[in-house]
Structure 1
Amino acid sequence: MIRLLQIEFIKLWNNRASKFLIFAYFTLILCMALIAMIRIDRPPIVFNIADQGIFNFPYIWHLNTWIASWLKLFFAIVIVSMTANEYSNKTIKQNLIDGLSKKEFLMSKFLMVISFSILSTIFVFLVSLILGLLYSDFNEISIIFSDLSYFLGYFVKLVGFFSLCLFLGLLVKRSAFALGFLILWWGIFENLIIRFSAWWLFGKEGSEKVMHFMPLEAMSNLIVEPITKFKAVKSISTQLGANLSIDYAVHWYNILIVLGWTTIFIYLSYALLKKRDL
C-alpha cells in the first residue's frame, strides 16, 4: 500500500500543474480566515463580519465544510489530469510492464483519492478550529466539539466526488473531455433529464425522492447550505413571513448512498481497466 502511494506521489511531484492546483486549493481554504478581516468603519455604519456570529462554534464547522466543498474542483482537475496523463504519456502501460497489476494500478489511484480527502478534511478542521478559538462567542468544550458530523459528511463527499472523477478520467482518457462530461452529467443529465422525467412520472414529491439517489445530488445533500442558519438571514425571513424549515443534519442514509456510488465508480473503473487492452 505504501509502495503504491509512493508511486503516485512521485508522479504528482513531477507534475507542475498538479502542484500549482493543490497549492491554490489550500491557499483558498486559508483565505477563509480573511473573511474575519472584513470591516466597515464609517459612522454611522460600523460593521465587522467577525461579530456577526459566523465563526461561532458549532456553526463554523457547517459553514467552512460547505465553503471548502465548493473548492473540490481543484483536486478534481488534479485527479482527472493525472489519470488522463497515464494514457497520453503511456505510463500506465509502462507500470504494467514493470509488474504492476491493473488492480494495483487502480488501488494506487484510489489511495490517492483517500489521501487527498483525509488531508483536506484535516486542513479544513484545523483552519476552522483556529478561527473559532479566535472569534467564537462560545468556547465551552461541549459546544466546540459538537456537530463534528459535518466533517464526516465532507470526507465522504470528497471520496465520492473524486471517485467519480477517477472513473471519468479512465473512461474518457482526456482531462478536458472528462471535466466536460462531468458538467454535462450535472447540468443536463442529472438536473434536467432525470429530474424532469421523474417529475413527469412520479410528481414533485416523487421527483425529489428519485433525485436523492442521483450521485451528485446525493453528494450535495450531505452538507446542506448553512446561509439560512445565519441569524441575520433568519431575522429577514421572519420579517418577510417566510418559513425556513430546513433539515441541516448530516444523515446516515445520505452517507450510505454516496458510499454506494463510490463503490460503483471504483468497480466500473476496475471493470473498464480489466476489459480494455492497454
Structure 2
Amino acid sequence: MLRLLTIEYHKLRHSKTSRVLIIGYFVLLSAIALLASFKFNLFGLEFRLADQGIFNFPYIWHFNSFIAAILKFFLAVVIVSMTANEYSNRTLKQNLIDGLSKKEFILSKFLTVVVFSALSTLFVFILNIILGLIFSDFNELSIIFSDLEFLIGFFFKLVGFFSFCLFLGILIKRSAFALGFLLFWWIFEWIIFIVLGILVTKDFAWKVWDLLPLGSMWNLLNEPFTRLEIAQTVASQLETDMVLNYGVEWYEIAIVSVWTFLFIYASLLLLKKRDL
C-alpha cells in the first residue's frame, strides 16, 4: 500500500494545478472559520457569526462538517484531474508496462481518496477543537467530545463522493466532461425527486432520494442551520415545528458504503475491459 501511495504522491507533487487546489481547499476552510470570528458592522450594529453559537460544543461538529463538505468540490477536481490525466499523459499505460496491475492502479487511486478524506477529517477535527476552545460556552470534556458522529459522516461522505469522481474520471477520461457530467447527474437526481413527488408521493420521492448516489451522500450530513437558537426562536414565534433528526444513522453510512464499493468495482471493470 505504501508503494502505491508513493506513486500517487509523486504524480500529485509534480502537478501544479493539484497542489494549488489542495492548498486552496485547506486555506479556504481556515478562512471561513476566521471570517465567522470577525465582527461586522451591519446598519450600525456589530454582528459576529461566532456569537450566534455556531462554534459552541457540540454544535460545532455538525456545522463545520457540513460547511467543509460543501467545499469538497476543490478536491473533487483534483481526483477527476489526476485520473483523467493518466490517459492524456499516458502514465497509465506506462505504469502497466512497468509492472503495475490494473487492480493495483485502481487501489492506488482509492487509497488516495481515503487519504484525502482522512486528512480533511483530521483537519476539521483540529480546527473545531481550536475554535471551540476559543468561542464555545461549554468546555466540559463530555460535551466537547459528544456528537463526533458528524465527523464520521463527513469522512464517509468524502470517500463516497471522491469514489464517484474517480469512476467518472475513468469512464469519461476528460476532466472537464467528467465534472460536467457530475453536475448533470446532480440535476438528474433532483429531477427524479421532483417527478416522483408529483406523480407518486413526496414520501416515496424522499425514499428514492435516500438511495441515489449523491442523495444518499447528502443525507449523511443534514443542514445544521435550523438547529441555531435564532432559528428555533423564530420557529417558536411562528408556531412552526422544527424538530428534525440531525444525527448520522448507520444505514445512511451503509448506503454510501455500498455506492463506494460499486464505484470502485465499476472502475476496475472498466479498466479491465478497456483497450489501453
Same fold (TM over 0.5): yes
Name the residue aligned to 1:190.
Answer: 189
The alpha-carbon deviation at position 40 of structure 1 amounts to 4.0
The alpha-carbon deviation at position 238 of structure 1 amounts to 1.6
- CA 1:42–1:95 in 2, change beyond 3 Å: closer, same or farther? closer
Looking at structure 1, the residues matched to 152 and 241 of structure 2 have their Cα atoms a distance apart, in angstroms, of: 29
1:66 paired to 2:66: yes
One of 230, 237, 242 as aligned partner of 1:239: 237
> What letter corresponds to residue 214 of structure 2 in structure 1?
L
Name the residue aligned to 1:204.
Answer: 202
1:258-277 pair list within 5 angstroms: 258-277=256-275
Identity, % of aligned positions: 57
Looking at structure 2, the residues matched to 167 and 256 of structure 1 have their Cα atoms a distance apart, in angstroms, of: 19
Name the residue aligned to 2:247.
Answer: 249
Name the residue aligned to 2:228.
Answer: 230
> What letter corresponds to residue 227 of structure 1 in structure 2?
F
The alpha-carbon deviation at position 83 of structure 1 amounts to 0.3
More displaced stretch, 103-112 vs 42-51: 42-51
The alpha-carbon deviation at position 51 of structure 1 amounts to 2.3
Name the residue aligned to 1:14.
Answer: 14
The alpha-carbon deviation at position 48 of structure 1 amounts to 3.2
The DSSP-based 3-state class of the residue aligned with 1:212 is helix
1:135-150 pair list within 5 angstroms: 135-150=135-150
1:1-278 pair list within 5 angstroms: 1-40=1-40, 45-187=45-187, 189-192=188-191, 194-199=192-197, 202-278=200-276
> What letter corresponds to residue 203 of structure 1 in structure 2?
T
Looking at structure 1, the residues matched to 163 and 45 of structure 2 have their Cα atoms a distance apart, in angstroms, of: 48
TM superposition score normalised by structure 2:
0.96
Deviations 1:207-247 (A, max 9, x none): 11111100101000000010110101111122222221211
Deviations 1:117-162 (A, max 9, x none): 0000000110011000011000000000000000100000000000
Name stretches of at least 5 consecutive residues in structure 1 with no aligned partner.
Answer: none
- CA 1:40–1:24 in 2, change beyond 3 Å: closer, same or farther? closer
Deviations 1:228-269 (A, max 9, x none): 101011111222222212110000010000000000000100
> What letter corresponds to residue 151 of structure 1 in structure 2?
L
> What letter corresponds to residue 260 of structure 2 in structure 1?
T
> What letter corresponds to residue 220 of structure 1 in structure 2?
W
TM superposition score normalised by structure 1:
0.96
Looking at structure 2, the residues matched to 220 and 37 of structure 1 have their Cα atoms a distance apart, in angstroms, of: 27
More displaced stretch, 236-245 vs 144-153: 236-245
> RMSD of the TM alignment (CA)?
1.5
Tell me the number of residue pairs that the alignment of Structure 1 and Structure 2 aligns: 276
Looking at structure 2, the residues matched to 206 and 42 of structure 1 have their Cα atoms a distance apart, in angstroms, of: 43
- CA 1:236–1:112 in 2, change beyond 3 Å: closer, same or farther? same
Looking at structure 2, the residues matched to 13 and 92 of structure 1 have their Cα atoms a distance apart, in angstroms, of: 17
Looking at structure 2, the residues matched to 231 and 239 of structure 1 have their Cα atoms a distance apart, in angstroms, of: 12
Deviations 1:164-218 (A, max 9, x none): 000000000000000000000001x2110x2245335642211111111001010
